[in-house]
Amino acid sequence: MPQNLFAACRTDGGELIAKRVRLDANVQQAIEAVFTEQETAFREGVTDEMPFDGSWTPNEDEFLTIEVPAEAQIFADTINANAIAVADIDTAAFSDEGIKALFTGVAENGATKVLVQRFTSQQVLERRFALLQQGNTFRRLTESAFALDNSLACLIEDGKIKFKSQHKLRSIINMLDIYRAATDQEVHAFAAHESLEVEDVANFVSTTNQVSRKLIHAITNNETLDNHAPADIQAAARETDLAIVVRNGRIVVPTAHSEIKALLQFLNESRYSGPLSGQPFVTNSQRPA
């Protein structure tokens, strides 16, 4: 059965929907070959799969994986649907369709596999000064046209999205829930910990942004404040040139966003001193050695 090409489009209301990209038979065969080659390259050398927790970039021999979130169910649902029933992309207004990804796939023996490329405005050729060969000369391309990406952003199979680049994947699907940022309730609970002194809880909750809440979630899960006394945390922070105030046996949480973030980064062990230079560094990677 031929593999149809579909586009995942983000509507003005923020919904991710699928549309069919109609192709002639020759082009369809060529695109099937392109996606097959890209799948082979995407899988090459990969021997391990690591559940994604927002903390690190995979090695060359690894996929990161997440359970397929609700909005991304459209990829497999579209492959399993009758292609004729899927609305066609508007070729006359192609550049205004809000396309975030191009995808194809197969459904066999009850299993569905989806191959997904990221799509960006740079791939819409009529928005660029593109030239098309015509005989021995070139003319300017004025018709609706687009280019495929040169690699897959992810593949979907076995109920998981497998990927290598967070940046590419989050340009396609909403990953806010996947990062599992702390809710207001979790931030309140964190602020009430017996090892912390938060003078203005309302300000603390309103000041913590997505990055800070992600750190709070990780610190809470790791039970850092339960396992280390404030005085020990203060002494360890001093080694990274971070001044932490301890009053009455509690860590005084600062009020400025940058200082809150620095404290949270340290508690998440994202701040450290170089073993040779002694210079303090901050890292986004939490991959265990």
Mean pLDDT of the chain: 87
CA dist., res. 31 & res. 33, Å (int): 5
More confident residue, 101 or 96: 101
Q: Is the pLDDT of residue 288 over 80?
A: no
Whether the model pTM is above 0.75? no
pLDDT at 117 over 80: yes
What pLDDT is stored for residue 135 in this prediction?
Answer: 84
Gap between the Cα atoms of 165 and 29, Å rounded: 28
Lowest mean pLDDT among 8-17, 41-50, 205-214, 232-241: 205-214
Weakest-pLDDT range from 74-88, 124-138, 143-157? 124-138
- Summarised one tens digit per residue, pLDDT across range 14-50 is 999 999 999 988 888 899 999 999 999 999 999 999 8
Please determine, for residue 289, whether its predicted confidence score (pLDDT) is greater than 80: no
Question: In the predicted model, is pLDDT for residue 179 greater than 70?
Answer: no
Contacts of residue 104, Cβ cutoff 8 Å, sequence gap at least 6: 3, 4, 5, 6, 31, 32, 35, 79, 114, 115
Residue 55: pLDDT over 70:
no
